[in-house]
Amino acid sequence: MQAAFGSTDERAKVAVWVIRAPAPAASAGWCHRTCTPCVRGAARQSRFGGCPPPVAEVTVRAPMVCRAQPWSGNWGGQGVSGETGGDKRAVVGYAAVAFYEPEVVRYTIAERKWLLELARRAVAEAVTANRMPQVAEAEVPARCREVRGCFVTLTKAGSLRGCMGNLDPRGPLYRAVLENARSAALRDPRFPAVGREELGQLELEISVLTEPQALAFSSPEDLLARLRPLEDGVVLQVGERSATYLPQVWEHLPDRVKFLDSLARKAGGEPGDWRGPNVRVLTYTAEVFGEGETR
């Protein structure tokens, strides 16, 4: 198969070879037309679904490894065994997908400082004048214009004072920082609005997120095993309710069971709800930086 598709890039964590279906040579084209979209879609979603009948057999190598990780899939190629020799009256169709860990975006010290100063301005103007700072887009660093999700966290004397954000990217990062900083100061329902006298006592932190990915698991115990403390931000969905904890929450709740119990309560449920039916979990990672690091 490597002769048909070439060698896998060294950066690939998993190469998945899909044996699509035994089929007569005359049906090989049909097999490609019907199954290839399934595999291509799986590559984009980092997971695999079934192929339509009358395909007789589909074998996926190491599928759970791919489903368990927020990896992106790159299409490698397709072919049939008859193309490389052998009996062309009965062939097997193949497809290859190589999976890669998402690249971690690292912001420079200058970019971090710019974003934190922007968040500080947003908090100050929201509290003192109930307005948003004006930002000329030409002055925004290029990477701060990229579409990213983020959270802005406010602390006071080491205790949480507000935290608001968006998991799904909705616009340029700098706009998300502005809006989430203002919301953290004025709209976090857990706290009263920040007062003028508090501005000098606040510390700001920004978390820039990767896009959340569904985490596949077969049981509550399997879910516990797949979570990565201090690395994974976690979205817990129980029916219509949902809540998230950023990766840094693991510092305060290092035990996986207590972490999920607390997250279930945050979602408006009971501890242990994550063990029940209708549960969906997504994970993401975050680049986290605060004012203390850039001074």
This prediction has a pTM of 0.65
Q: Measured between alpha carbons, how far apart are the two ends of the chain, in Å?
A: 55
pLDDT value of residue 262? 98
Span 104-126, pLDDT tens digits? 568 999 999 999 999 999 999 99
Token pair 């998991």: residue? 167
CB count within 10 Å of CB 44 equals 12
Task: Please give the Cα distance from 164 to 141 (Å, whole number).
Answer: 23
Q: Is the peptide bond before 54 cis (omega within 30 degrees of 0)?
A: yes
Give the chain's residues under pLDDT 50. 1-9, 11, 14-23, 25-27, 30, 42-70
Three-state secondary-structure class, residue 282: strand
Three-state secondary-structure class, residue 270: coil
| Among 177, 165, 172, CA closest to 146 | 172
Q: Is the peptide bond before 220 cis (omega within 30 degrees of 0)?
A: no
Task: Please give the Cα distance from 188 to 170 (Å, whole number).
Answer: 20
138's tokens: 């030409």
Domains of the chain in sequence order:
10-100 (no CATH), 109-209 (3.30.700.20), 213-286 (3.30.1490.150)
